[in-house]
Structures are given as C-alpha cells and as structure tokens.
Amino acid sequence: MKNIIRTFLVAAILISAHVISKGFCLEQEIAFGEQITAPILPGAIDLVGGLQKFEVNGILTKAACYGANISVASVLDFYKKEMIKRGWQLGSWETPNTVYFTKGGYFFYVASNAFALAQAPSFRNTKWLLVLSDKELRVCYPHPNINALDIKETGGRDLPFIPRYPGSTRLTSIIREDKEGFFLYASQDSAGKIASFYRKNLFSSGWRLSQEFKIPMFPEPGETANPFLEFKRGKKDKLTIYINYFRDMRTNFISISYNFAFTYPLIPGGSI
C-alpha cells in the first residue's frame, strides 16, 4: 500500500512539474499562428492584451506590444539571438531601434520606441512592437539615409475624427480597430503653424488641450525646442502630437498617437 501511495505521489509530482513547465513555456512566447511563435522577453509587460490585428499602411498584420524596464539595445539583442535560434534570418538592414527577420515568405519586425533611445542608450523605459506580415512593411527609416529619403504618400488611411494637416504627406498609418493608432505626416510648414492648426481644429472636433510643453530635440532653425501637445476627449480618449524637424530635409515630421500604448516610435514610415 505504501508503495502504491509513493508511486502515486511521484506521478502526481511529475505531472505537476510538467504542467508548470509547459505553463512557463507558454507564458514566454506568443503564437502568431499554428507554426509561427516568437519569444517574449522575460519580465516584459503585455501592453495591448496579446496578439492583435493591426493595419500597417493599409496592410493587415498581426502584432503585439510589450514594455519593460530595460534598454532598447537589450531588447534588440534578445530578439536577434532568439529569432535566429528559431531558424529566422536577420534582415538586410537594421536601425538603432528596429530589426527584422525573414523566414518562409514571412517578415517579422521588432520595433522599439526611439524616445527611450534618444534619452540615452541605457534609458530603461522601453516599449516594442512585434509585427508579423507576409508582405514587407515600411516600418522605419534606415539610418543614416533618412535625409536622402524621397518623401511619398504611403498606403493606409486617416481617422475621420483626427484632422490631417493641410498639404501634409502621410508616411505612416498604424491602426488597431479604429480604437488606437499612430500616424506620421511630413510638412514643410513651421512647427508653430502646425501646432496652431491642431489647437484650433481638434477643439472643434471635441478634443480639449490637456497639456503642452517643448522638447529640446531636433528643433527647426531659430527655435530651441519642438512642440508637444496632449489632448483628451471624454474619459478615455487621449491624443498626443509631437513635431520634430530634420534640418537636411527642411521638413517637419508630425507624430500623432491616438490611445496607442506604443507612444513614441521612431518615424516608422519610409521606404526600406
């Protein structure tokens, strides 16, 4: 009887260990389909509730967003190591905040927020997108060639309740079910004129300006900082607008984030 009990306990322990082990493994990866999975960096926080459907410049993709108290470089190094282990090939280009991989006709992107990168290489407040697509996406400008970019209108769409600056060129449109989005536009008008347009026109669309300040990064000639505006509508909707200038291109870039967990991507819209 004691042997039977002992055998039962050992079996129960082994089964429990297997379940715990399997659970741990499942918590450490995300499935993009039956055959494609990606690792989740240990300690990462899920910012969008698992795998979501996103439109990236009009192309339907699957994506997830995570955050962690870790540097951008550490995030990219982790995925370079782990994705190559899984049989993916490193893409032909990378930037300080983005890498991509290819395998069997699929493209897998890891794009982290450049705002953290701009603070300092070791800045530890990083968010990143994991994006899978069967089409090559325009998810970032490869550096240092950004200043040679021929700005062209991309695919995708705008949201009707966020007015588009007149005459601007849309470089990026990332939308999740019309509930979240990130948009990037280019304009040769001054940052002050652009900011004034949004103060006026967002108010008439039901938004209220909740805060405004200046960020001393890439200002246009004659200025020392760039405008950052935050608007709110109702209890939940939030819109942030950041305008930054690229001297060699003589162009202002308008970054608009609507309820988006991934608030500060690095200009993700140029040709690659």
| Residue 88 near residue 105 (C-beta atoms within 8 A) | no
For the chain, the DSSP string reads -HHHHHHHHHHHHHHHHHHHHHHHHHHTEEESSSS-EEE--TT-EESSSSSEEEEETTEEEEEEEEEESS-HHHHHHHHHHHHHHTTPEE-S---SSEEEEEETTEEEEEEEBHHHHHH-TT---EEEEEEEESS-----PPTTGGGG------SS---TTSPPPTT-EEEEEEEETTTEEEEEEEESS-HHHHHHHHHHHHHHTT-EEEEEEEE-SSPPTT-SSEEEEEEEETTTEEEEEEEEEETTTTEEEEEEEES-SS--B--TTS--
Which of 133, 165, 195 is the C-terminal boundary of a domain? 133
- pLDDT given at position 140: 53
Question: Other C-beta atoms within 10 Å of 97: how many?
Answer: 27
User: Do 88 and 113 fall within a single domain?
Assistant: yes
Does residue 200 sit within a domain?
yes
For 169-221, the DSSP string reads EEEEEEEETTTEEEEEEEESS-HHHHHHHHHHHHHHTT-EEEEEEEE-SSPPT
Banded model confidence at residue 150, pLDDT cuts 50, 70, 90? low
User: Do 73 and 149 fall within a single domain?
Assistant: no
Residue 14 has pLDDT above 80, yes or no: no
* Type of residue found at 189: D
> Domains in the chain: how many in total?
2
Report how far apart, in Å, the C-alpha atoms of 129 and of each of 38, 51, 78, 196 are.
12, 11, 14, 31
User: Do 128 and 149 fall within a single domain?
Assistant: no
Residue 272 has pLDDT above 90, yes or no: no
Does residue 2 sit within a domain?
no
- pLDDT given at position 204: 85
Residue 145 has pLDDT above 60, yes or no: no
User: Do 128 and 153 fall within a single domain?
Assistant: no
In this prediction, residues 188-203 reach a mean pLDDT of: 94
Question: Other C-beta atoms within 10 Å of 148: how many?
Answer: 9
The per-residue pLDDT for range 111-124, each reduced to its tens digit, is 886 554 444 444 45
Its domain, for residue 244, covers 145-258
Report the CATH number that the domain containing residue 157 is assigned in CATH.
Answer: 3.30.310
Does residue 80 sit within a domain?
yes
User: What backbone phi and psi angles, to 5 degrees, belong to 74?
Assistant: -65, -40
Average pLDDT value for the chain: 78
- pLDDT given at position 142: 42
pTM for the model stands at 0.74
CA distance 272 to 51: 25
Does residue 82 sit within a domain?
yes
Better-predicted residue by pLDDT, 15 or 108? 108
